[in-house]
Structure 1
């Protein structure tokens, strides 16, 4: 994982990046499992979701590199792309038609589309939607050359004057820790977006999900603990994964099933021939 290759002392001294490593391990496992699936059976929503999550995963690593080198404004500017990619992964996973447009027609999807899908997934929870919109608005302030994201470059410490253009990155512990927490927050958003992008939450092993929930609780103790019946989750996980048949059996199953599209088309064609 990319974070292990960074040896700056600040990286290892920061609690946030220790937590981030756990989040990235979860995403790494999720994406590897998804990518190892039979790609001949991939549909547009599979491809789009995995691509967006992969882009977000790389984006988090980019944010870390910028942060540890003192380029805090650039790290904050990159956070919005990560946030958008994570949210879009969930939205496209749930809509094959939109995923197909996005994939084949290079059809741009605005953040309003993501918010709409997330609202539906949350059952119309206004709090969840408000939190998403607030974070997006905050991240957007640094993704464009607004005063918020530009003025800090003239308040450097490389001059005896009250202010002056800061041409090179400087380490600032307060900014470092603040941006590091934002990076962890957006990585958690991507991780739970990956959870929401699955066909069913029970497809995720209980220990993976429990570890992610524990990581979130460790990062922000003000967030209420997620209550899950882990024994029931694991029971359903085993049943669900146990019923998944190998793709080699698909052709025979479709041939034998009277309600498959293949057989229904044959029946329809036969009826049409008899009428002629």
Structure 2
């Protein structure tokens, strides 16, 4: 009887914690300021996300839990971006993102030679031998997803700039509205120019640096991660203007209105699901 009671108590505790994590994930999806929620420092010797190091150098070697926590946060941010811009997104080799904190995964679709097989790859490091064999491909898949997000946001920025130009002409008599439209167009064009300078993904290389962890030397992998984070940081800024019509510098870190909350808290994309540390939803 004592064992049964403990089992029930443990099950209830797990269910309560899972419910809390799910509610927190839903709340995060209704916030605007990616830069405030997920601050990225690409200028540090080892780039960081929310203060967590992503990379490895002889002078700075974070333990796997730190790397895994950063990867979990990174995938959470990418999941929100992916859902918001799915209409323009084209990334056939990434089927879904499995959000599970420090144990997050990516479902990838392999090439035609293997019949388009779907498999999960770990976006986290395990302590077992050869764990890098899935962590490396996961980073390659994530890099291609980031490039697809950049393309989608470029397209939306072009539309935003065109709309703002038309609004500026239509509101010439209203100096305030015309000024806002002109500022939006200027910001969109500036982001588009910056987007042209972003690194390109070529196979497993981003900006010329391999992100295939385990196959590439640590300093090369770290440089590749830095280039991926450069793309992510640009996506944060572009998203602020495209979705909310606000310059990146003034996007508020507060919940959206009810309409936006309903849109962003909608059901995941087809094939995508959230997963807590205790299992799938």
TM-score, normalised by the number of residues in structure 2 = 0.29
Greater helix share, structure number:
1
Greater strand share, structure number:
2
TM-score, normalised by the number of residues in structure 1 = 0.29
